[in-house]
Structure 1
C-alpha cells in the first residue's frame, strides 16, 4: 500500500491547514497504528511503523525539515493520546525514526508506560534484530545492484531486505571551490536507491540469485562485506533523500524508515569504491588512445570523431560517477537520446558522427573493461536502435528561427540546456531585439556575452538611461542566469512567464530576492518558491 494514498499530505497540512485538520491527519495515523496491537511478529510491526513514517517521506516543508515538522509533531500527538496504539507507535518510532525522533519517542514511550499504558507483546523483540549476511546481485554493466541483507531476531524470524541501487543517473552537486553554477557528479559510486522490499523466503531468494548468477552471463552474485554494505546503503540513501522528487518506486516511502534502520545496524568501518579522477590531461590521453585504436580506424571524419569522443568522456566523468569507460545499453541510450539533445550543441558533422563514434567506443571500452561479448552485443544493439531516433531527438536551435552565429555566441560552452535562460537574460541576441549595429564606438555584433565586460556593454545597450546601481543589479542577475546558479532562479522565471509577468518585472523581482537572500541558499530557494505563487502585477 502506498502510504501517500492512505493519508493526505501531512507536509501540506502542517503548512496550510488549521491545527484541527492537522490533528485529524495524525488521528488517522494513530488509527492505522491500531494494527500494531493485532500483530505478534516484530517484523510485521516494524513494517507497519515504517509505512506510517513513510506518509511524509519525500515531501518538502519551506523553511524546515519535514522529519522535524511532521515526525516530531506526530510523536507529541501520540504522547497526548496515551492509548495502547499510541504507545505501540512510539515504540516502533524509537527503533525506526531519525535520531531526534527516536530519542523523543523513547522518552514519550517511557512516560506512557509509567502511566500504566500496556506495551505490545513484540516490543522487547524489536531490539534483538541483528544482521547475518550481505550479498549483491548485479548486472555486468554496473547499471544496478540488488543488495540483499539477511537479518534475524535472536536467531529466529530470518528475513531478507532487498534494496535496488541504480547507478544509471548521477545526481550532480556543487563542490567547494567550483565557480558559480558549476556542478559535478558526487564522487562515491553509490548510486541512488530506487526500490526496496522484504522477503521472509530467505533461502528461496538466495537460491534464485545464485542460479541467475551462475547461468546468466550478464549477471553476477557475490557476497558483500557488511561494513561495505552499510557504507553503500547509507550513501545511496543520502543521495536519494537529497533529490527533489526522486525516481523511486511508488511504494518506496513505505520502506524508507525500515531501510534506514536496517542499514544503521550493520557494522561500521566500510568504504565505498572510489572512482578514478580524470583531469584534463587524463581525459585527453584516453581520447587519444581511443582514436588510435583499431576500433576507431573506420571513423572517416577524425575531427568530428575527436569532438564526439570528448563528449562521451565528459558524460562518463560528470554524469556517471566518474566512469567514462563503463558502457551499457541504458547508458548509451541516455547519452544519445537524452543528454546530447538536451545539453550539447553539435555541428551537422558531429550529429552524423555521434552514433558511429559511440559504437566504436563501446567496442573499445568493452574490451578494456572485460565486458562479456554478450554485453557488448546488447549495448551495440541499443546504440543502433537509438540511432534511428537520434536525429529526431536532437534539435538544432536554428530550426526555431535562431541564427546559428547568435546561438554560438550564447553557447560558447555548447550547453544547449542553457539557451532558453541566456536568451531570456539577453533577449536582443535572439533576434527579438537588434543584435547588430553599434553602441557608440562599439560593434555590437562583436561582443561576447560570456565575457563580463562585454555583457556590461550589452546591458547598457538595453538600458540606455540607467545609472550604475541599476546596471549593477541587472549585471548580477544576468550573470546568475547565464551560469544557471541556482537552478531555481530560472525555474522561477519560467513560472512567472507562464503566469503572464512582464520580463523586466521578473528580472526586478529576482534581483530583490537575490539581494535579500543571496548568502543563505535555503532561504533563497524558499523565497523563490514563494515568488512563484504571487499574482502578476495589474
Structure 2
C-alpha cells in the first residue's frame, strides 16, 4: 500500500511550479515581448533599440563557428509571425526590418507587406530613417581611447555615442543613445584633472566610418564583447554606419630610414652608461617592433594601459630575453616611452602616468617572465633553441634546429619517452 504524502495544510507550503520541459526559443520570447510591451504603441527609436537588443542577444549566444545568428533569428521570427498572424507579430517583424542585417531585409520587408494585408501597420513603420546632422570625435592624449558622438534629427532627435579603446586591440567598449547636444554636455562635465579629450567636430561620414571599422574589429574578437550596452545597441549602430564601412586599411611598415632616425635619436637622448649601448639599442628595437605591430594607432602611441599589457602579457608570452636585457628592460622602457611620447608632442604631465604604469607593472613582468605555462608556442621553441646554443639571428641555423626539434618531439610522442630537460 503506497504511503500517504499527507495533505497540504491550508495556507501552508507552496503550490508546485509547472515548468516547461524546454526553455522558450529566443524567437518565441521576441514575439512574447512584442505583445507584452505593446511594441506597436512605442516611438520609433525605442522600437529600433528593442529590435537591436533582440539581435544582440542572438549574436552573443552564438558559437564561434555560427556565422549568421541574426539572420537565423529573423528567419524564425518571420516563420512564427506568419504562422499565427497578429498585430504584435507584425510589429516584431517590422522592428527587425529597421535594424536587421542586410541579408534579411528583403525577407523581412516582404513579410511585412504580406502581414499588413490583414491588419494595420504600426504608426512608426512609415517613419523616415534618422539622419546624421553633426558628429564629433574626442581622443585622449595617448590616442588609446576615443569617444564618438553622432547627432541625429528625424522622428526622435538623439545622439549615438560610442566609446572605443585601443589597449590590446581595437574594441568598442560602450554604446549609448543620448540626448541631442550630448557632445557639448560631455565636454562640460570633464573635470580639470582628467585626461584631455576635447570633442572636435568632424564630418559625420568620417566618424561613422571610424565606428564601422571599430565594430568590425570588435566582432572579430573571441570571446565576444559582452558589455550589456554594446550587445543591446550593436545592431542599431551597425544599421547606422554599415554604409560607411571602409576597406581594410593597409599595414604601412615603418620606413627603414625613419626607424634608424628614431633609434639614433633615442640613443642621443640618453645620458647613462655608454657601455650598455648595444643592449639598450636592441631593447629599443624591440619596443619599436612591438609598437609597429601591436599599437594600433602608431608605434609611438604608448599609454598606461599599453605599457601594462606589454609588461604583464606580451613580454612573458612572446619574448626571449637574456639576463642583461631583462635587468635593464624596465629602466630602458621608461626612457623609451618618455622619448616616444615627447616625439608625438605629448606634454610632460601626461607622460608621467605612463612612466608610473611601467614602474607599477615591472615587478609583475619579472614574476611572470619565468612562468613557462604562460609562454606562447613561439617563445617555447625559441627558448628550447637558445638552450641548445642556437644563434637565433642565424636563419639557416634556426631552420635546421627547428627541423631537428620537431623530429625529436615526434619520436618522443611515438615512443612515449619524456623529453630531455631544456628541449
Distance 2:401 2:219 in 1: 41
Partner-residue secondary structure (3-state), 1:55: helix
The answer for the alignment partner of 1:179 in structure 2 is none
Distance 2:204 2:359 in 1: 40
Query: Which of 112, 116, 129 does residue 115 from structure 2 map onto?
Result: 112
| Aligned-residue offset at 1:238 | 0.9
- The 1:86–1:343 alpha-carbon spacing in structure 2 relative to 1, beyond 3 Å, is same
Query: Which of 61, 67, 71 does residue 68 from structure 1 map onto?
Result: 71
Distance 1:458 1:61 in 2: 33
Indicate whether 1:283 and 2:262 are aligned: no
| Unaligned residue ranges in structure 1 (runs of 5+) | 1-19, 171-190, 401-414, 437-446, 465-501, 507-538
Query: Which of 374, 377, 380 does residue 418 from structure 1 map onto?
Result: 377
Does the CA contact (< 8 Å) of 1:36 and 1:89 recur in 2? Answer: no
The answer for the alignment partner of 1:298 in structure 2 is 272
- The 1:128–1:217 alpha-carbon spacing in structure 2 relative to 1, beyond 3 Å, is closer
Partner-residue secondary structure (3-state), 1:122: helix
The answer for the alignment partner of 1:9 in structure 2 is none
| Aligned-residue offset at 1:315 | 1.1
Measured against aligned partners, the alpha-carbon deviations of 1:322-363 in whole angstroms (never above 9, x if no partner) come to 611112111111111221112101111111111111111122
Distance 1:281 1:27 in 2: 62
CA RMSD of aligned residues (A): 3.6
Q: Residues 136-147 of structure 1 correspond to what in structure 2 (within 5 A)?
A: 136-147=137-148
The answer for the alignment partner of 1:439 in structure 2 is none
Measured against aligned partners, the alpha-carbon deviations of 1:57-111 in whole angstroms (never above 9, x if no partner) come to 1323646532333443333333333221111111111110111111110111111
Measured against aligned partners, the alpha-carbon deviations of 1:200-250 in whole angstroms (never above 9, x if no partner) come to 3x3355223245398856222211211111211111111111222144523
| Aligned-residue offset at 1:28 | 1.4
Does the CA contact (< 8 Å) of 1:30 and 1:85 recur in 2? Answer: yes
TM-score by length of 1: 0.64
Does the CA contact (< 8 Å) of 2:74 and 2:96 recur in 1? Answer: no
Distance 2:90 2:409 in 1: 66
The answer for the alignment partner of 1:6 in structure 2 is none
Does the CA contact (< 8 Å) of 2:40 and 2:123 recur in 1? Answer: no
Q: Residues 445-460 of structure 1 correspond to what in structure 2 (within 5 A)?
A: 450-451=398-399, 455-456=402-403
Distance 1:138 1:69 in 2: 37
Partner-residue secondary structure (3-state), 2:159: strand
Query: Which of 79, 82, 97 does residue 79 from structure 1 map onto?
Result: 82
Indicate whether 1:121 and 2:123 are aligned: yes
Distance 2:246 2:319 in 1: 38
Does the CA contact (< 8 Å) of 2:82 and 2:115 recur in 1? Answer: yes
Measured against aligned partners, the alpha-carbon deviations of 1:233-269 in whole angstroms (never above 9, x if no partner) come to 111111111222144523321111111112247xx59
Does the CA contact (< 8 Å) of 1:214 and 1:220 recur in 2? Answer: no
The answer for the alignment partner of 1:233 in structure 2 is 211
Distance 1:218 1:290 in 2: 27
Distance 2:202 2:64 in 1: 37
Indicate whether 1:255 and 2:233 are aligned: yes
Indicate whether 1:219 and 2:220 are aligned: no
| Aligned-residue offset at 1:394 | 2.2
Does the CA contact (< 8 Å) of 2:99 and 2:239 recur in 1? Answer: yes
Does the CA contact (< 8 Å) of 1:36 and 1:120 recur in 2? Answer: no
Distance 2:196 2:66 in 1: 46
Partner-residue secondary structure (3-state), 1:164: strand
- The 1:396–1:462 alpha-carbon spacing in structure 2 relative to 1, beyond 3 Å, is closer
TM-score by length of 2: 0.80
The answer for the alignment partner of 1:203 in structure 2 is 181
Distance 2:104 2:415 in 1: 44
**Larger displacement relative to structure 2 (205-214 or 48-57):** 205-214
| Aligned-residue offset at 1:416 | 4.7
- The 1:168–1:36 alpha-carbon spacing in structure 2 relative to 1, beyond 3 Å, is farther
Instruction: With a CA cutoff of 8 Å and minimum separation of 6, indicate the structure with the bigger relative contact order.
Output: 2
| Aligned-residue offset at 1:159 | 0.9
Does the CA contact (< 8 Å) of 1:137 and 1:213 recur in 2? Answer: no
- The 1:455–1:132 alpha-carbon spacing in structure 2 relative to 1, beyond 3 Å, is closer
Distance 1:160 1:297 in 2: 51
The answer for the alignment partner of 1:368 in structure 2 is 343
| Unaligned residue ranges in structure 2 (runs of 5+) | 1-20, 390-394, 417-423
| Aligned-residue offset at 1:284 | 3.7
Does the CA contact (< 8 Å) of 1:213 and 1:221 recur in 2? Answer: no
- The 1:246–1:449 alpha-carbon spacing in structure 2 relative to 1, beyond 3 Å, is farther
| Structure of higher CA gyration radius | 2
Does the CA contact (< 8 Å) of 2:149 and 2:183 recur in 1? Answer: no
Indicate whether 1:149 and 2:150 are aligned: yes
The answer for the alignment partner of 2:13 in structure 1 is none
The answer for the alignment partner of 2:102 in structure 1 is 99
